[in-house]
Structure 1
Amino acid sequence: MVKQLVLPIKDSNILSQIKDTLLNNFIYGRRNYTVFQVGKATLLRVSDVLALKYDDVFASDGSIHSRVLIHDKKTGKPNELYLEPVSNDLKVYYNWLESNGIHSEWLFPSLKKQNIGTDTHINERQFYRIMQKVGDLLGIDYLGTHTMRKTGAYMVYQQSGHDIALVMDLLNHSSQKMTLKYLGLDRETKERKLRRVNFD
């Protein structure tokens, strides 16, 4: 089986279409959209986004914690999340949960299972299928569960003046090489640097 190539979304128009499709083409679109936004803003792996608890993010009065400390499932490293960039989306999501009477210990519950009395969060396979459906609807073949993390990392890289050290830190990576490869920038960066060299 060929491993699917998942790339960051670099085009703002395509990003808008993906967000719009996540929001408007699914029964639980508001949840799916918020998963994507939180993943993009925190640069978490999908497993860590989906495993967030409701109380990790919301206080008892519905306000949003400005910072959340978690441990990455894959690496075990501590990771402090800064939620301010996604606070507006989280406020809308909180109101959506309230107005639909959805109460779960999980931030992103699997609502199918909740209907039959089991409280669990949406899993990676379910979210992969959601992203595949978005890709099918839009004719994009490079979407997957890593899309939001790669896109968020790429946005930070571009908008921070190519601060690779910051992106490395946010991704909890141990080397620049790993980060550049993850963003698909290893070749692009090498070629850009070589263009500046005068070989005369």
Structure 2
Amino acid sequence: MKDSNILHEVEDTLLNNFKAGRRSYTIFQVGKATLLRVSDVLALRRTEIFNDDETVVKNAYIRDKKTGRPNILYLKPVKQDLLTYFQWLNQQNLHSDWLFPSIQHPNRHITEKQFYKIIAKTGDLLGIDYLSTHTMRKTGAYRVYTQNHYNIGLVMSLLKHSSESMTLKYLGLDQVSREQMLDEVKFD
């Protein structure tokens, strides 16, 4: 999602239009900040994210489901969101091994299908037809790319891609995007 105004509308809708809005919002924020696939975000365990004293770990060490490769998650960008979410979990009396438990079945995490329905409903409410569970990962990747001086190597590494061309395609850098970026370059 390249438009910041739309991004804020999505975040606001996730937070305020659902029974477990704080959970949906936090899933989206964690996905956006870590560039994880939704399956990996939903499978996070509380002990991977929080220390015993209920503070957020600096780095979480996980293994990507799709690739099987180890991944180190830097959590400082979502530290406050996670702390607020932890308070919400306690207020809801939701105690689970999972970071994002199901409300009905706290011994399981929310499913991809459940989160997909929340994202689809968010898109319906906002009249946006391109939202998906993948939006958070793509949005995070695009923002890292544009806010780090178009450092394709960094984005490629975070996404665990094996080629720059794959990452550029993933970022959706079409002709209009390339032209906008080139308009910012001072050639003189």
- The TM-score range, normalised by the shorter chain, is over 0.9
Does 2:53 align with 1:61? yes
Amino acid in the other structure paired with 2:11: K
Does 2:75 align with 1:87? no
Q: Percent same amino acid among aligned pairs?
A: 61
Q: What are the Cα deviations for residues 103-159 of structure 1, in whole angstroms up to 9, with x where unaligned?
A: 000000011223xxxx10011111111100000000000000100000000000000
Larger Rg: 1
**Could you tell me which of 41, 58, 63 is aligned with 2:33?**
41
- The number of residues matched between the two structures is 183
Evaluate the alpha carbon distance shift between residue 173 and residue 100 of structure 1 in structure 2; reply closer, same or farther with a 3 A threshold: same
Contact kept in structure 2, 1:19 and 1:33, CA below 8 Å:
yes
**Could you tell me which of 81, 101, 106 is aligned with 1:109?**
101
Gaps of 5+ in 1: 1-8, 196-200
In the alignment, what sits opposite 1:153? 141
In the alignment, what sits opposite 2:122? 134
Higher relative contact order (CA 8 A, sep 6+): 1
Using the TM superposition, give the Cα deviation of residue 40 of structure 1 relative to its aligned residue in structure 2, in angstroms.
Answer: 0.2
Contact kept in structure 2, 1:31 and 1:108, CA below 8 Å:
yes
Contact kept in structure 2, 1:180 and 1:186, CA below 8 Å:
no
Using the TM superposition, give the Cα deviation of residue 61 of structure 1 relative to its aligned residue in structure 2, in angstroms.
Answer: 1.2
Provide the alpha-carbon RMSD of the alignment.
1.7
Using the TM superposition, give the Cα deviation of residue 77 of structure 1 relative to its aligned residue in structure 2, in angstroms.
Answer: 1.1
Evaluate the alpha carbon distance shift between residue 194 and residue 98 of structure 1 in structure 2; reply closer, same or farther with a 3 A threshold: closer
In the alignment, what sits opposite 2:162? 174
TM-score (norm 2): 0.93
Does 2:4 align with 1:12? yes
Ranges of 4+ aligned residues in structure 1 off by more than 3 Å: 186-195
Gaps of 5+ in 2: 184-188
